[in-house]
């Protein structure tokens, strides 16, 4: 039996585009005499559809698309994911389903059993879990069809009381097919392969796995669809961060040994590719072409500009230099060197006149109090006003340039440098931003060396450095990682050898600045615990604050 895996970049709610892509891949498979072509979880709707699922019209359009796709399944079968209605009076109104299409119709539906309800996932909000198990008979073979999380209860900390494959294996299937929507983070590829390997080894069956590719706002899908033999060895792996389509012979898979995989991305390389894809897809799917950002001469805006140039083309990234009385000369020079290296358009807009106007307007009301954070933030907000005005005038999307370290401790100005339509590096710690800069320069100096090596500064007061307000990023980022990603409490972090006073101060900064993060643009997710939809914290809370 010949099986094709179709790894496609879908667009949530774009039924015409998703349907047409699926049909075109079915036709491609037909020409290659494929028996079965497999698409990913919730392919027809796109993933995650979220509260669109509360609209009956949305779900009906998904089902209509499935029927139209089925019309093309003559002489070939297909598996495609979509939401379907639950006909029972009790329970959630929908199922997360895999439709088996054959002979011009929807032959059967398989529903997802294990519904993740953690981090970015909230499937139990919408879907009823499956409670019946049946293999699919096709071309003399029995298929154990599963949907993403259905294979994940083999880890050392099982979250569910049932394992779908334990039920299906009693019916003596010949292979496992898993359709998935597994979002990227820089640890996920390794974890995902280990989970799939455990399944193939445990059930001694070949395993066909197909994942999404592309970005859906902040969620990034890296692809990496694959086929394993019954020993849990990877026979073939589809591309990462690209659409792909490959055909396999089931009998050959069962007898093929482990393959040496051609692509082995470093962590930094995969983060870079993920962020480039995230920016590109955000613009493409919203129908925008041009970005704008404030280029400060610092490493964060430089890396953001470089990623945007790769994603959108240098000519579509408008850099605005906004120097003030506190800006150093090399900040402007370094920025000009960067835009020259990339051939990006730019302008220099001095903020001194606008800042003076604000100062003079507020002087009677500031009651002769000394210069402090109010004036510092006023500069950032002056820049924010200018950038948003240009964004509105020309229809550009403003890219936010804050990193995760800054966002975590509130080292940013609301309605100033925290403005934007998309936060590009908001899930990358400062130390990771430096690594990204080095990666960008791997084939030659695109980001000027001085931007990478000079001490970070907001340049909002004379001789200001980030280290005046924050510990060194090498220390700060480790403490933040242990608290945010690893969810360790202060006593556990202190026991690792970190200063008690410093740990308590940093954790307090994280928790008391939650209100700022509620007002930030969507952040491209690259970690296991990103700010945004996967991290839900109360603002008015006392814990560690």
Active-site annotation, residues: 41, 112, 148
C-beta of residue 178 within 8 angstroms of C-beta of residue 146: yes
Q: How far apart are CA 426 and CA 261, in angstroms?
A: 31
C-beta of residue 52 within 8 angstroms of C-beta of residue 12: yes
- Which residues lie closer than 8 Å to 276 by C-beta, 6 or more apart? 307, 310, 311
* Distances, alpha carbon 483 to alpha carbons 6, 479, 504, in Å: 39, 6, 11
C-beta of residue 110 within 8 angstroms of C-beta of residue 139: no
Number of C-beta neighbours around residue 386 at 10 A: 16
User: Which residue is listed with tokens 């990913």?
Assistant: 40
Q: How far apart are CA 493 and CA 405, in angstroms?
A: 17
- Which residues lie closer than 8 Å to 132 by C-beta, 6 or more apart? none
Q: How far apart are CA 205 and CA 203, in angstroms?
A: 5
Q: How far apart are CA 304 and CA 302, in angstroms?
A: 5
C-beta of residue 426 within 8 angstroms of C-beta of residue 404: yes
> Closest Cα partner for 174 from 148, 144, 194, 210?
144
Q: How far apart are CA 19 and CA 317, in angstroms?
A: 32
Tell me the three-class secondary structure of 162-174, residue by residue.
CCHHHHHHHHCCC
Q: How far apart are CA 96 and CA 508, in angstroms?
A: 40
Residue 76 in tokens: 């070939």
Q: Which residues pair with 110 in a beta bridge?
A: 98
Can you list the positions of beta strands (E) in 192-258? 207-210, 213-216, 219-222, 226-228, 234-237, 244-249
> Closest Cα partner for 294 from 401, 186, 441?
401
C-beta of residue 213 within 8 angstroms of C-beta of residue 223: yes
């Amino acid at each position: 039996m010949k099986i094709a895996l179709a790894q496609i970049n879908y667009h949530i709610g774009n039924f015409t585009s998703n349907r047409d892509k699926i049909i075109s891949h079915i036709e491609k498979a037909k020409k290659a005499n494929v028996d079965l072509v497999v698409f990913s979880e919730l392919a027809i709707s796109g993933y995650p559809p979220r509260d669109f699922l509360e609209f009956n019209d949305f779900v009906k359009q998904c089902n209509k698309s499935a029927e139209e796709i089925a019309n093309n399944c003559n002489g070939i079968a297909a598996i495609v994911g979509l939401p379907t209605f639950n006909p029972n009076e009790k329970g959630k109104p929908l199922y997360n389903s895999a439709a088996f299409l054959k002979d011009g119709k929807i032959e059967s539906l398989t529903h997802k059993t294990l519904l993740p309800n953690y981090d970015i996932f909230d499937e139990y909000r919408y879907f009823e879990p499956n409670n019946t198990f049946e293999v699919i008979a096709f071309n003399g073979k029995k298929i154990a069809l599963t949907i993403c999380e259905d294979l994940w209860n083999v880890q050392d900390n099982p979250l569910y009381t049932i394992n779908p494959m334990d039920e299906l294996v009693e019916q003596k299937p010949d292979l496992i097919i898993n359709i998935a929507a597994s979002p990227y983070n820089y640890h996920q590829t390794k974890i995902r392969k280990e989970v799939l390997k455990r399944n193939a080894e445990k059930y001694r069956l070949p395993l066909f796995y197909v994942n999404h590719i592309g970005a859906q706002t902040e969620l990034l899908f890296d692809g990496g669809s694959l086929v394993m033999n019954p020993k849990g060895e990877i026979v073939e792996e589809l591309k990462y961060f690209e659409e792909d389509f490959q055909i396999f012979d089931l009998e050959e898979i069962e007898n093929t040994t482990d393959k040496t995989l051609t692509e082995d991305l470093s962590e930094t390389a995969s983060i870079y590719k993920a962020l480039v894809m995230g920016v590109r897809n955000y613009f493409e799917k919203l129908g925008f072409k041009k970005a704008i950002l404030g280029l400060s001469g610092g490493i964060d805006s430089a890396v953001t500009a470089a990623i945007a140039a790769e994603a959108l083309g240098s000519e579509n990234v408008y850099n605005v230099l906004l120097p003030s009385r506190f800006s150093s000369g090399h900040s402007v020079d370094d920025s000009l060197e960067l835009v020259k290296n990339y051939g990006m358009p730019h302008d220099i807009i001095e903020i001194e006149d606008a800042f003076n106007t604000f100062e003079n307007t507020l002087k009677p009301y500031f009651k002769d109090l000394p210069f402090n954070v109010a004036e510092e933030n006023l500069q950032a907000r002056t820049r924010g006003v200018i950038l948003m005005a240009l964004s509105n005038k020309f229809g550009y999307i403003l890219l936010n340039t804050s990193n995760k370290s800054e966002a975590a401790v509130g080292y940013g100005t609301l309605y100033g440098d925290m403005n934007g339509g998309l936060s590009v590096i908001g899930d990358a710690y400062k130390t990771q931003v430096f690594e990204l800069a080095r990666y960008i320069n791997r084939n030659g100096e695109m980001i000027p060396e001085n931007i990478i090596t000079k001490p970070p500064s907001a340049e909002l007061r004379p001789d200001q450095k980030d280290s005046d307000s924050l510990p060194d990023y090498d220390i700060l980022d480790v403490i933040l990682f242990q608290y945010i990603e690893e969810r360790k409490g202060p006593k556990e972090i202190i026991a690792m050898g970190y200063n008690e006073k410093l740990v308590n101060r940093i954790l307090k900064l994280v928790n008391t600045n939650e209100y700022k993060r509620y007002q930030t643009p969507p952040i491209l997710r690259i970690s296991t615990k990103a700010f945004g939809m996967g991290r839900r914290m109360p603002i008015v809370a006392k814990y560690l604050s």
